[in-house]
Structure 1
Amino acid sequence: MVTGSSTAVAATGSSVEVGAEPIADGRLLAQRTLFTGPHRRVAEGMYVAAFPGTARATRERIRLLSGTTVSTNTYFGRFAASFWQRYTEVDTVRLEFDHECTPDAELRVAVNASDSSGRPRPVDVYDLSGTGHAAIDIPLPRFVDGGGVWFDLNVFAGEASVSDVRWTVAAPERFRPSSVVICTHNRPEDCLSTITALASDPVAMSCVDVVYVVDQGSDRVADKDRFELVQGLLGDKLRYLTQPNLGGAGGFNRGIYELTAGGRCETNIVVMDDDILCEPETVLRMSAFANKTVQPLLVGAQMLLLSETYRVHMTAEWEALDQLRAGRPTAYAYQGRNMLTHQQDARSVAGWNGWWSCLLPAEAVTAESLSIPLFFQWDDIEFGIRARLHGFPTVTLPNAGVWHADFHLKDYDDWSRYFSWRNALIVAAIHTPFDGAHFAKVVATEIGSHIVSMQYGLAATFLLAVRDFLAGPAVLHDGGQSKLAQLKELRSHYADTVVRSAAEVGKEGDPNTQISKKGHEPREDRETQVLLKRVAKQYLGKVSSAPVAIAADDARWWHVSLFDNAVVTDSSQTGVRIRRRDKATAVRLGRELAELCWRLRKDAPRMSQEWSDALPQLTSRENWKRLFDGD
């Protein structure tokens, strides 16, 4: 054992067996240092940064030639020291690894740390030779406001390799494994890829008790050839269930329901989307962290972008219920940050974490019951808020992430907006004072901007969401299944909801069509005034009749509303939508909006009471069992 001084680390001749249990010799495996990602499309710099020289890496081993410098000051390479100091009683982490050097080689291991501003500071330096197993104890002081720990490797001569790198902490008195719940709907190949990635990693699986796969689709996972492989990998750890399509809420809650039978839960629960690019190491890190925190808390993984595998969606977020928005970055958190050029040094606090991958502690699940049957969107947010209000906060753990389809490549004009908007109103009614005048203004601004943008189908989708919210808790009786058909029928009446081929639209259109770029965004204190002016101009027809094409990034309401006819690129970049001014439709939708806003102002206190009173019944096991049984 080496602690505190810059001396050579003695070789012990032992190594950590791949696939070992998460606890060995009184030490808990907190994380591994992996040198490559789970898929070749992942940017290499997310795991290790190589400088002059040559390094050849596999997942668990890196080989360095003379003159090579390698740093693990990377997204997955760092140890999140600030979070371990703040939320656990761990005061020392042990860095362990095997090394092998040629007789003429000299391998230098430099352990470094950072503070909340990102300034690096050296911890210690070790010179190694020969072959052996090294263990270095690293104290964890001075990290309350932020900072991480990592190591750099230098080879000055010959060749050297480092493998089986593990960060361990003192084992908890009682280790609690995790159970994984994955829900899927007609994405069997994506689901099988996610399960296979997890099941193929024996170290990550050593902390997993069971894996629930809840299949809600007609294209079954079990009917695919690869399912047999998954069965072989997981053995008796696999639980495969089928049920009616109850959305993400229904899929996740079915697994939670099964794991909490009898009012007890023996494991933490990791909920995970089916269509992610899975990093199994993330499950291990969340599980280890949850086993050492001084209080039970939700441990969330960050969402990394699938199209730009080096970029993070949001490092930590808090709900914005006053604006009916799912989230905004909290203090010292970032959205869309490039993790190859930046690190997460300042510690940020989360209000909730998306269920693309999130650990729910057993105590929170048994205390808070299940989530609301919202079908899709906001069920994870509401559960996070409710858990937080009852003493189970959320930590979004840096250096733990999975890759998920980019939200910015999903167009806002979609049937799912119904669930997002209706469910946001429900959650706001339950968890805010729910001032009717304020929320009527928010609703009027949002839907009004869609009407002047000639997004009549989207406006109709939002109006249905508000109408159903005002109908009260009975709207959730079937768990949301009937709404899919209703939304499809509703939106079919609006041509602006259809995504068309850009080439075909260009062939049909005016050859003089020009691209129109948006101007400056209205000042925040003048947005309402500008919106009202746009409404008047659209109503009077005092808008440009020139045919224009508008890029997705320029398609803001204050710009699109200046025209009578616009071809707007869909955010998915797969096609375009044609928006045409229709005065009669705009007037009809505007009148309905005015009526619903009046009702919202008048009935807000009653709706808040109704939804709050219904919460215990909606989240009860009895209600969910009724839905699972197809009643």
Structure 2
Amino acid sequence: MNDYFKLQNVLFCEDDKLATHWKMFFHGSQPAYDRQNRCIVIGAGQVVDFCTYFNSIALRKWRTYTWADKLILKLRVQGKIEICLTGYEKEDNRYIRRIVARKKINAEEEKEIWIPYPDKPLELAGFEVHALEYSTIFEGEYGTEVQADKRNHVSLHLITTTFKKEEYILPNIELLKKTVLTEKRLEEISDRESLAKNFWIHVVDNGRTLSPEQMEADHVQLHPNLNTGGAGGFTRGMLESLEHREKPTNVLLMDDDVLVLPESIIRTYQLLRIQRPEYKRHFISGAMLYYEEMERLHEDVGYVNRTGEYGPLKSRINTAKIEKVLRREGQKKNPDTAYAGWWYCCIPVEFVRKDNLPLPLFIRGDDVEYSLRNKAEFITMNGICIWHKGFSNKFNGAMEFYQVHRNSLILQAASGVCRNIDFMDRISKLVRVNLLRFNYDGAEQLLDAVEDYLKGYHFLMKNQGEKLMKEESSKNEKLISLEHFPEAPMKPYEVYNDTPRKPLETFLYRITYNGHFWPSCLLKKQVVPVAYDWFYSPHLYFFRRKLLVVNPAMETGAYREMDRKRFIRILRRKHRIMKQYKETHTHVEREFREHRDEMTSESFWRKYLEIDQK
């Protein structure tokens, strides 16, 4: 078949870290993995279902976004088996599982088989293997037929930014060298359009702790950089890719502290190779799964809601359950505040231009602003993803209170996005909430965010992100082991249970600012454990003198105590800053808007990053 084109590989769950999560790869029986021969072995009578998060194919999406109108299953097998081609059709709001074809194979020797799928309107397609005797599957893939004149040339440049995270970045780059870039010499690969020949890696080292000897190789470059956060690191990578001898067609941004699956990059590249012209401007937005709970999918497309909160557009799911995967794969109209996170985001070079670089936000919000400014549309696909480390158990006030809210005001002002969202109303309410639960440092961080925004665009153009983060991080609560607290709960996650307030309690809580304007002798002395993060439980805070805040994931905590003097001082500061905002925000916003093009230009960034002017 001269027109045959591979779409994606069938995965065997080879990584030891994923072995206990095999239901992301197989349903029914778990096959045995033969590590020496890199194949899977299925015992007589076993049935293995490959219609899973990683081994199904999102057929409707492939047919929509690419020229993959046909679907072919290609396997290399040995033994006596029956293969059932399966898939899910959507009827009304239900997904109906179908067996669309069957084929019996009797292969005494290793044999390659091709089985075409009938032309059915399947959402997801997959297959089952029924072993009639002891059998082996050596490899498998889904493919299609695409004529040469419909195939695109793709030059894919990966950019990853790191800051003193050698334990993550070094294994990831080594893995990509051995897989995506292949172990054999690149010049020996005859196919000019192979991924290995057209994949380039730019490692931007914001910590300047890596050496070329540790990292560089054919198609891998190291770029020492100032610590300018994710925004500065990714911008440096964009500039380097644009200056590269092999000009990119697409740029793939990826975090450093992730577990990467090489197959995600393969699927991204194959999709780009046969992408229909009308979808070439779409961003490919990879999903982020939790490293600590590897089956849990957190987000593939995010959005900013009407109250100014950032979060996933679709529901979080357990990827081991195919019905959850199906419902998530259903197309959902993206609001105008939808964005792609830069943990894994593939952007057409049409947008990655020297006059269209990110804003210098240091960290948080750079990916949001870039998506919204460019009115991005998105492609998501099951199996194109990463696992992010530490995302599920960290709450950092410097990030969540200061950085996020300062940058929300900046991106709204500079790029004219999120116009219907009142970020100042959200900040005002959060200051009050944090005062009520004695988190005075958190309230200060929120007010710092507004105060620094009001300093205007000149403030943003100074390379001081690292300094500011250190200052704000010094205000974060210092949590220590729960062993040091007699009030620590036996079951730490119980801090997320809340009891509704009584009407009188609610009334007194509000008019007294939770006891800040109430006699001390009438406050409760007992210390209660509460959640340290966003979780709000006013019944537990009510009229307490002291709280124990708990991080259940890390089993750490800290005391918070009522401080009336500090409360009054912060309240006065809030009124002063809010008055200043009302008087000056129109002028500040106009200046940000007028200087946005300057802040996203090559000349500005080269000066900011202290690299040679071109």
What is the TM-score normalised by the length of structure 2?
0.85
Q: Which residue of 2 aligns with 1:11?
A: none
Q: Which residue of 2 aligns with 1:142?
A: 121
1:270 to 220, 231, 252: 252
What is the TM-score normalised by the length of structure 1?
0.83
Question: Are the structure 2 counterparts of residues 99 and 67 from structure 1 closer, same or farther at C-alpha, using a change threshold of 3 Å?
Answer: same
1:252 to 219, 230, 234: 234
Q: Which residue of 2 aligns with 1:589?
A: 570
1:556 to 493, 511, 536: 536
Give the total of aligned pairs.
575
Q: Which residue of 1 aligns with 2:158?
A: 180
Report the alpha carbon displacement of residue 619 of structure 1 after superposing the two structures with TM: 0.9
Question: Are the structure 2 counterparts of residues 518 and 442 from structure 1 closer, same or farther at C-alpha, using a change threshold of 3 Å?
Answer: same
Aligned-CA RMSD value:
3.3
Question: Are the structure 2 counterparts of residues 621 and 521 from structure 1 closer, same or farther at C-alpha, using a change threshold of 3 Å?
Answer: farther
Question: One-letter code of the match for 1:384?
Answer: S
1:444-459 to structure 2, matched below 5 A, reads 444-459=428-443
Report the alpha carbon displacement of residue 530 of structure 1 after superposing the two structures with TM: 8.7
Q: Which stretches in structure 1 are left out of the alignment for 5+ residues?
A: 2-24
Partner Cα distance (2:30, 2:385) in 1: 29
Question: Are the structure 2 counterparts of residues 488 and 154 from structure 1 closer, same or farther at C-alpha, using a change threshold of 3 Å?
Answer: closer
1:225-374 to structure 2, matched below 5 A, reads 228=214, 230-231=215-216, 235-261=217-243, 265-291=247-273, 292-293=275-276, 294-295=278-279, 296-320=281-305, 322-329=306-313, 333-340=314-321, 342-345=324-327, 346-349=330-333, 351-366=338-353, 369-374=356-361
Report the alpha carbon displacement of residue 621 of structure 1 after superposing the two structures with TM: 0.9
Question: One-letter code of the match for 1:253?
Answer: T
1:157 aligns with 2:133: yes
Bigger shift: residues 65-74 or 38-47:
38-47
Question: Are the structure 2 counterparts of residues 251 and 139 from structure 1 closer, same or farther at C-alpha, using a change threshold of 3 Å?
Answer: farther
Q: Which residue of 2 aligns with 1:609?
A: 590
Question: Are the structure 2 counterparts of residues 612 and 169 from structure 1 closer, same or farther at C-alpha, using a change threshold of 3 Å?
Answer: farther
Question: Are the structure 2 counterparts of residues 409 and 169 from structure 1 closer, same or farther at C-alpha, using a change threshold of 3 Å?
Answer: farther
2:8 to 31, 37, 54: 31
Q: Which residue of 1 aligns with 2:77?
A: 99
1:598 aligns with 2:560: no
Structure 1 residue matching 2:352: 3-state secondary structure: helix
Partner Cα distance (2:237, 2:366) in 1: 15
CA contact (8 A) 1:449 1:557 kept: no
Question: One-letter code of the match for 1:62?
Answer: I
CA contact (8 A) 2:53 2:319 kept: no
CA contact (8 A) 1:548 1:567 kept: yes
Question: Are the structure 2 counterparts of residues 301 and 517 from structure 1 closer, same or farther at C-alpha, using a change threshold of 3 Å?
Answer: closer
Question: Are the structure 2 counterparts of residues 54 and 187 from structure 1 closer, same or farther at C-alpha, using a change threshold of 3 Å?
Answer: closer
Q: Which stretches in structure 2 are left out of the alignment for 5+ residues?
A: 183-194
- Listed one character per residue, the Cα deviations across residues 550-580 of structure 1 (whole Å, up to 9, x for unaligned) are 3558952524531210111125424101100
Question: One-letter code of the match for 1:153?
Answer: V
Question: Are the structure 2 counterparts of residues 599 and 532 from structure 1 closer, same or farther at C-alpha, using a change threshold of 3 Å?
Answer: farther
CA contact (8 A) 1:187 1:274 kept: yes
Partner Cα distance (1:47, 1:516) in 2: 31
Report the alpha carbon displacement of residue 77 of structure 1 after superposing the two structures with TM: 0.8
Q: Which residue of 2 aligns with 1:9?
A: none
Q: Which residue of 2 aligns with 1:467?
A: 451
- Listed one character per residue, the Cα deviations across residues 455-495 of structure 1 (whole Å, up to 9, x for unaligned) are 11111111111111111111212342331333245x2xxxx
Partner Cα distance (2:386, 2:258) in 1: 7
Partner Cα distance (1:528, 1:601) in 2: 30
Q: Which residue of 2 aligns with 1:191?
A: 169
Partner Cα distance (1:53, 1:287) in 2: 29
Structure 1 residue matching 2:331: 3-state secondary structure: coil
Q: Which residue of 2 aligns with 1:40?
A: 17
CA contact (8 A) 1:537 1:543 kept: yes
Partner Cα distance (2:102, 2:507) in 1: 63
Partner Cα distance (2:231, 2:295) in 1: 29
- Listed one character per residue, the Cα deviations across residues 64-95 of structure 1 (whole Å, up to 9, x for unaligned) are 12101111121111111232233334322322
Q: Which residue of 2 aligns with 1:484?
A: 469
Partner Cα distance (1:29, 1:276) in 2: 27
Report the alpha carbon displacement of residue 616 of structure 1 after superposing the two structures with TM: 0.9
Q: Which residue of 1 aligns with 2:525?
A: 545
CA contact (8 A) 2:155 2:246 kept: no
Report the alpha carbon displacement of residue 605 of structure 1 after superposing the two structures with TM: 3.2
Q: Which residue of 2 aligns with 1:398?
A: 382
Report the alpha carbon displacement of residue 422 of structure 1 after superposing the two structures with TM: 0.7
Partner Cα distance (1:477, 1:128) in 2: 66
Partner Cα distance (2:58, 2:34) in 1: 23
Q: Among the aligned pairs, what percent are the same residue?
A: 20
2:58 to 66, 75, 80: 80
1:443 aligns with 2:427: yes
Question: Are the structure 2 counterparts of residues 605 and 30 from structure 1 closer, same or farther at C-alpha, using a change threshold of 3 Å?
Answer: farther
Question: One-letter code of the match for 1:387?
Answer: N
1:579 to 557, 560, 569: 560
